[in-house]
Amino acid sequence: MRIPYSRILGMISALVGLGAIATLRVAGIGIAVVAFLVAGTAMSGANRIASSLVSFVGKRVVVEVWGTPIPLIGDGHLVVASAAAFGAGLLIRLHAGAEGPGVLLKVAQPRGAIVGSTVAEIQGAAYVSWAGARITGDARGQTRAVTITVESTEATDGAA
């Protein structure tokens, strides 16, 4: 059985947090909070999804939230700059065009994903926000929370 490194990091961080509380008492609370945040992030489903989205970085994409294209800014092209997890949230930084402003797509508590070479579908989420504004979902819950489709497989190093 193979255990991913993120699980090992999560377990070690949780043990550090428990040890800090047990030995340092009040002073250890701050250390424990940080350690538990690292543990939660490392062991979250959002972290696994973020890891699988690495191949999308630098690619032009089309993004739909709850079955509707997100409101675009700039020249109408989105480029994935990064995908990361923070706690139980998935944070996808997108740029409008190759050198446009960065905008954050936040997927809170993603509930599973199917990630292929050109399409990523995040099955569900507590909520999704784009540029700080929540986007409401389908009340029936039948639509995917987020769908990211690669528009072009070319890297966007100025040749957008």
**SS3 labels along the chain:** CCCCHHHHHHHHHHHHHHHHHHHHCCCHHHHHHHHHHHHHHHHCHHHHHHHHCHHHCCCEEEEEECCEECCCCCCCCEEEEEEEEECCEEEEEEEECCCCCEEEEEEECCCCEEECCCEEEECCCCEEEECCEEECCCCCCCCCCEEEEEEECCCCCCCC
d(CA 70, CA 117): 21
pLDDT over 70, % of the chain:
84
Higher pLDDT, 73 or 105: 105
Q: How confident is the model at residue 1 (pLDDT cuts 50, 70, 90)?
A: very low
- Residue 121: per-residue pLDDT: 95
According to the model, what pLDDT value does residue 71 have? 73
- Average pLDDT along the chain: 82
* Six-digit token string for 1: 């059985």
Confidence of residue 107 (pLDDT cuts 50, 70, 90): very high
The answer to whether the predicted template modeling score (pTM) of the entire model surpasses 0.75 is yes
